[in-house]
Structure 1
């Protein structure tokens, strides 16, 4: 080897090779490899792509605090945590923040690469182009790095068909290490910010998890000088990696910003609406819009309340009002006064509703595909929880008890909501000593969406159907063989039945389950359970007995008057009299129930006469 160390022109087996030919061949290979890479790049995913023309970004003087926190983290290269994950509700403004950060990083010459996922774009809704796109952007910052990446591709032309860990090592990790070691790349000055937006919009939970795992094992474990910023709705892949219970594998390694919980965007949304609507009014030919009195404070505050702290609602309003056809004043009034009805053509919230339908459809498909869910109706159970959270059963009870009433296993609502964390959360009330959880909507408009057939379309479940579902579930619960473990559970089930059966909008046919309950010995089983409670002293609260007495006397009245099932009413009356006597024997009185029952008996006697 030492003999040929300085050779530059020699003959081998009648072949005369010049060093210039070798250099030319190497350059051609590197160029060929780079051109192959370009064919696998998702150009639509770039922060400045023409396909993303006018992307969402933070309005002037809004999201200042969170933007500063993000930029400070990216620029602090000494911080031990080199991965930042920002999670938040759908429409919280994550993509707008990512775009704003990408532009600021680009202006500061520290943007290494950016990839914006989009569920509706086949070039950027999967993993196939993520690593090539990142490698391409990094290579554009350094000619030597670009050459090594090209050579790696020529050496393994099947690289794009391999899993993303192999791609990341071959196209990013190995080239970066090699060029750094050669001295042709200064890690201290190389653009170091890698941004990935909308991880939840990458199709397939397993693919989302694989990308996170790849970032951990290839970029973080190799101690490369990148600062990686990922944003996502809090879906399964990112929750399982980040959350501490049980501890996720990225929990200790990640700086985690929970956008919807940490930052109240209400003031920013108010500022955004004022600024944008005033700007629209100033460019309008409608003199009303140009007036200093438009929009009014009341208009803005109604919109802010409807936004529920989520920017997507405000952005949807601005986009609708800014349409050139029609007056912005009239369009804003339509938004504020808008209620969906049959035959209506105007859909001012359609962009928002499209987002809701996408998330809800995906969650429904994933939930109902699991065998252990036993064919349960996802939308029906979700609406049951929503109706409870909105107190439309006359009161609100814990999500745990709703699970019990509708026959879900313990913690069933957590499974139900597992793919809706961007829209719904379950919160514990610290003021209540016993375990109490309640459903919380990040968007007021999502709750309204669920209750509107016009907006929800094929995902709509009527409240009448929900009422009937509650009635059936409560009656089924009452005739189960198992004893009630909790007196309060029994009391609330009775209250729920009372509300739904007594609801003026409940159709008579909806209560056929009351007849089935009576014919199938439901009252006898309820009597057995009550007798057990009397013996153990578990059932001695007057409020619970009051509810039972009202429910029973009401059932007698409905069976007699509405269904003309007098024999069945007589059966219920027997149990009612028995329970009333037992209750009075314990020293309690039920004046309201007794008065109601006596009144019904007198009315029946009068009808008989």
Structure 2
């Protein structure tokens, strides 16, 4: 076949055997959607130099960012020893130990400690800071760009990374640690110091246990059950409860509230866990309830109930916190619990987590009254915007331990089947909003469109008029209007579908979502799920797409190798436990990254990516990361064949093809 050897022209690629002249599966562009030209749209508020760099960073991740106001801080007089050790590390670090790993379980106050370190960094120390959060600051792929931008603009050389475990991808977390430790190992004289804080998650702990890494870092554990932790938590509890006492005349007259015995009871239950202490203080002092004495009794009852179960206290260090969370949820009346579940389910989708409260409530169909009724009992665990700021501020959990508790059905029993229930609800919610916008947008829309994240949707004010609003705009405010609310609902929904679509989930890879993604964009956004779509198309959605004529069989000779563009995915997979000698085609000198396959059980293999990218002169060059552009939504082609050497292994190519293959037929 002409041009067949394109796939082996790169001598560093795995050496595939000659390809059989057979038919291949493709998704023709005419059936998938209109080809798009990739573009970037920036709202330039920082000048021409800054804007492109800012879009590649994690906005609001700096220690002094207004997005984090008010930031977590240690209670005065607490955590002094740990903070001082970290500051001493900055001043007196050696040429070998350039990294300090601050670790501890959820709720011990890691973020507060890192905040104080950033605020008290010694004079003359140049530093950058990245504070990850599940509330919207979690894109780990932007970490290095964020640090580089801060250093370039502010000239800082101490790098603080908080909440590494809250970065959105465990693989990215380890890659960041690999980059940091490699820099420390290969450049011992480097002036850059690092302080990284995280939970001791298994994949992070195992990284720091590697022999080659240990010489470059020191550990700083924030223990729960240490004497110092206990004293710090007691100091925080006393101050918080004293403040509550002074706010209520009936309590102010009492010399000792709570009693010393009651206080010791609470402090013992906290066991050095700041998250527990802070929830207790907020729960007892909840002004919306207005009866601290009664709330104190409820807390003591919960503590006593957990204390009666010796096994629970021994095997579950978070048992007291779980019990308190359960008590808070039990206060929600049955009549409003369904609305509370709706909000908390959608909040687990990280795109919606950062949206303003009114928009989120409109997505799940709650009126203003229903929304505030649903969250009335959650003031101890979440930051709830005032009604006059609901169009600006999001609903936010105070601490990650609460959503962790909700999603663990064995601990909370809040969701019937945790992850599946959440995914199903998110799918239903987003699908409803998409269905309310006309599907024939090519005819309905001319120059209108919605732009975000470098992409453009085929939609405008008129096309979104039928999007339902349960909580309309405030008639006394100019912004946002009802039309703007509808546009924002649709835009955020499509963004969430882009970021959520996954062939690994039966809920997140549906035909309606596939159709929406492949037909509703004028310009594809930066986070468009190219590979996730192709994976779903050739897997769980294949029967439906074939029946609809959107997957067609074409002869291999119909492909134009000069029209291959963007990334090419090559996968090799072998069955395990067969009685034949398997091929081992990977070239150890290959320039491309080798990713171990996580395919079906009883199989092993690898996947790699390479590609051809069109430069400005119209020529195809060897893949160069510096010049990568997103491919247009061209036909996706897949073909596979059995390895001729062992007769059982499978080779599979998946690629983008510019224009429909010639001679395309069913």
Q: The TM-score by the shorter chain falls in which range?
A: 0.3 to 0.5
Q: Which has the higher strand share?
A: 2
Which structure has more relative contact order (CA 8 Å, sep 6+)? It is 2
TM-score (normalised: structure 1):
0.42
- Between structure 1 and structure 2, the one with the greater Rg is 1
Task: Give the number of the structure whose residues are more often helix, by fraction.
Answer: 1
TM-score scaled by length of structure 2:
0.39
